[in-house]
């Protein structure tokens, strides 16, 4: 399975993802929107950015 890097995102959101061990779009998709929003520093704008990147790949966030 191919893994895709995360899109450009704010520094706090990037740190939140890194802290959770999320380094690819596929990992973010599996983690789910609710769990991502629970990460300190990750907010609704990050969800919008990830959803757009995932849509381009035919993927979506777990909810």
- Show the 3-state SS of 15-62: HHHHHCCCCEHHHHHHHCHHHHHCCCCCCHHHHHHHHHHHHHCCCCCC
Alpha-carbon distance of 42 to 21, in angstroms, equals 14
Give the domain ranges of the chain.
Answer: 11-56
pTM: 0.91
Q: What is the pLDDT along the chain (63 residues), one digit of tens a residue?
A: 689 999 999 999 999 999 999 999 999 999 999 999 999 999 999 999 999 999 999 999 988
């Amino acid at each position: 399975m191919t893994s895709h890097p995360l899109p450009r995102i704010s520094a706090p959101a990037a740190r939140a993802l890194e802290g959770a061990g999320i380094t690819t779009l596929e990992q973010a998709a599996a983690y789910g929107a609710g769990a991502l929003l629970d990460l300190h520093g990750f907010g609704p704008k990050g969800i919008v950015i990830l959803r757009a990147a995932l849509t381009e790949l035919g993927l979506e966030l777990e909810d």
